[in-house]
Structures are given as C-alpha cells and as structure tokens.
Amino acid sequence: MRNLLIGSAFVSFSLLAAPTLAAADDWDMDADGTITWAEVEETRKRIFETFDKDGDGALDNAEYTAFDEARAAEAESNPTSLAKRAVAGLSRANTDLNLDGRVTRAEMDTAMRAWFDNIDKDGDGVITKGEY
C-alpha cells in the first residue's frame, strides 16, 4: 500500500490543481493492510487543510462541493468499494448534522466515525480489505 501523498481518507492532493482524493489503498498510512480510526482522523484533518480554503474551520457550500467532486472523481477513476462508499457515506446529507449549510470539523468527525463503524463489520476497530 502506498503512503498518502498529502492525505485522504484519504486525501492525496495537488495544490496546483483541483484537489483529488487518493486511492483506497492510500488510506492505510502505515501500509499494514488495515485502516484504523487514527488514520481516518488524520484524513479528516487533511480534508480540512485542503478543502477549507478560508480556514474558518468549516466547509461552506463551495468548499464542500469541491470535496463532493473530488470523492466522485476518485470513485470514477478508481472504482473500489471504499471509494464508492465515501461518495455516499460522506455526502452533505450525512455530514451537515445541524443542517446549517456548513460542515464543521466536529460534524465531519462524527460523520466519519459513523462511516468507519458501518464499514468495520466485525467491530474490531480496523477496516480490512474483506470489509470493503
């Protein structure tokens, strides 16, 4: 498994072009064959570093649209189960918990935890290839 270039739950980004998400294998930062909650948390941080252009701690409509587009592009170019699950599982409908049109770091963390727990079928705290 490759290391994250700049992260993504995985987000590997080019700052000179539109942000993109890394392949599912890149979510495994330590290349041990599993994706841990700590790796997901690191990805959330990197999502905000990349997509929160105004640095206000929340993804507004335009910023979240860029995140939506990056997830969709990754799922199209690398159609793994995990990439496809990220498209739907991390949609605004699942992350904007208070429906105010902005997704805060805390909301994203809560949504990513639910997404992670949904994929971690055996509840052992790690996502393995058999689970996605």
Tokens 């105004």 locate to 54
CA 28/CA 128 separation, integer angstroms = 10
Interval 24-79: pLDDT, tens: 456 788 888 889 999 988 988 988 999 999 999 999 999 999 999 999 998 899 88
Domains of the chain: residue spans and CATH? 24-126 (1.10.238.10)
| Span 106-121, average pLDDT | 92
Report the predicted TM-score, pTM, of the whole model to 2 decimal places. 0.73
Query: Between the CA of residue 27 and those of 54, 60, 102, 125, what are the distances in Å?
Result: 25, 24, 25, 15
Helices marked H in the chain — which ranges? 37-51, 61-77, 81-89, 92-95, 105-119
pLDDT in tens, 75-102: 899 888 878 888 888 899 999 999 999 9
Q: Which pLDDT score, from 0 to 100, does residue 81 have?
A: 80
Q: 5 φ, ψ to 5°?
A: -75, -50
Residue 103 has pLDDT above 50, yes or no: yes
What integer pLDDT is reported at residue 70 of this predicted model?
Answer: 92
